[in-house]
Structures are given as structure tokens and as C-alpha cells.
Amino acid sequence: MHKRSEVDNDNKDAVSPDLADASGAENPQDPEAAGSSEVDRLQQQLADKDKELTELKDKYLRVLADAENARKRIRLQSEESVRVQRENFLRDLLPNIDNLERAVEAARAGGGADQPIVAGVEMVLRSLLDFLRSHGVTQVSAVGQQFDPQLHEAVDQVHSAEHPPNTVVSEFHRGYLIGDRTLRPARVAVANSRGGPKPGNNSGDGGLENG
């Protein structure tokens, strides 16, 4: 009986190293290596988040820039529309001023400059010219100036030995500027020392304009 107990103890001692080896085989990973792997994984996740954040920031800045450009474009289009409408309105007033100027000139030529009605017409004319000046509109002095296609519209040529070629001899209606732009070119006759063909027809320019 005693011998059997000793054999059992010997068997236990013989099995114990194997069990120890098996237990060690189940957890072969070094704790330090496992910690390093976890740090690498977290660092990669952090790098991915930083990249995603950078991409989102770039998208936000692009959207913000596009919105700002759209606001500027809409503002410029609105300002341009207002400018065009204002200039069209002022340009529509000019034929009426032409007619008033012709009426005053005709009255003065006929000796009726002292009549009250002529004084009234002159008052209306001055008020309209003041209105134009308040909006930056000024008259262009054409007669005696060198012909400028930006400021003048040549509708007639006259042979003149007194004026150099391409000099404005007379005007059929005044030209006007708004700021530094031409609101309406002056319609003029230009000197041509060669007596060349006329560039246009000025029929009807001496009468009243209806726009």
C-alpha cells in the first residue's frame, strides 16, 4: 500500500513539467510586445483621425471660399444692373434737354428771349442740367476739338480750308459723359480738307427729337 502511494507521487512529479509546459504554451506573448502593438494601433487611429480632420477642414475652407465668391458675384451683378438702369434713365432724358435747348435758341434768335415763357423754359432746362450733374453727368464740348470716336459720332463731313482735317466743325446734339464713360456721343460734322464723301445722313437733325 505504501509502495502504490510512492508510485502515484512519482507519476504526479512526472506529469507536472508537461502541464507547466502546456500552460506556458497557451500565453507565449510577451506583455511588453503586446503593449507596444496596442500603442502602434492607437497611434495609427490618431493619424487617421488627423488626416480626416485635415480633409474636413479643407472642404470647409473651399465651401466658405465658394460662398464668399458667390456673394461677391451677386453683389457685383446687382451693382451693375443698378448702374445700367440708372444710365438708361439718364440717357432717356437727354432728347428732352436737346429739345429745350433748341427751343431756347430759337426764341433768342427770334428776339423773344425776354418773354416769360422763354424764361420758364430756361428754368426747366437749368433744373434738368443740375439734376444730371448731381448724378455725375457732364456735357462734352465738341466744336473745335479733334474728332474722337469714343466721344463723337460723325454724321457729316464738310470741306473746310479753315479747320484741320478731322476737326469737329459743328454739332447736331451735345455729347454727355457720366464719370469717365460716354453716356451719349455728340453727333457732329467733321472737317475734311479733301472734300471726301459724307459718312452719314443728318436729315432731320435740325428738328425736335422725340427720343
- pLDDT, tens digit (0-9, with 9 covering 90-100), for 145-168: 999 999 999 999 988 778 888 899
pLDDT of residue 169: 92
pLDDT of residue 31: 64
Q: Percent of the chain beyond pLDDT 70?
A: 73
Residue 165 lies in a domain: yes
208 has a pLDDT exceeding 50: no
* Residue 190 to residue 172: CA distance in whole angstroms: 11
Q: What is the CATH number of the domain that holds 188?
A: 2.30.22.10
- pLDDT, tens digit (0-9, with 9 covering 90-100), for 86-96: 999 999 999 99
Computed over every residue of the chain, the mean pLDDT equals 80
Half-sphere exposure of 93 (CA within 13 A, CB side): 18
Residue 151 lies in a domain: yes
Residue 171 lies in a domain: yes
Residue 91 lies in a domain: no
Mean pLDDT (whole number) for 111-140: 88
Of residues 198 and 81, more confidently modeled: 81
137 has a pLDDT exceeding 50: yes
Residue 149 lies in a domain: yes
The packing angle between helices 31-109 and 116-134, to 10°, is 160
Record the cell numbers describing residue 158, joined without a space.
464738310
Burial 105-130 (b: 16+ CB within 10 A, else e): eebeeeeeeeeeebeebbeebeebbe
pLDDT of residue 47: 87
Residue 31 lies in a domain: no
* Residue 179 to residue 181: CA distance in whole angstroms: 6
Binned at pLDDT 50, 70 and 90, residue 189 comes out as very high
Range of lowest pLDDT (21-25, 56-60, 126-130): 21-25
Binned at pLDDT 50, 70 and 90, residue 204 comes out as very low
Residue 59 lies in a domain: no
Pairing of strands 137-140, 175-178: antiparallel
* Residue 112 to residue 118: CA distance in whole angstroms: 7
Range of lowest pLDDT (116-130, 159-173, 189-203): 189-203
Q: Is the pTM of this model over 0.85?
A: no
Q: Which residues contact 24 (CB under 8 A, 6 or more apart)?
A: none
* Residue 197 to residue 195: CA distance in whole angstroms: 7
Residue 153 lies in a domain: yes
Cβ proximity of 190 and 166 under 8 Å = yes
At CA 120, angle to CA 125 and CA 88, rounded to 5? 25
Could you give the number of structural domains in the chain? 1
Q: How many CB atoms lie within 10 A of CB 202?
A: 15
Helix, strand or coil for residue 149? Answer: coil
* Residues of the domain holding 144: 137-200
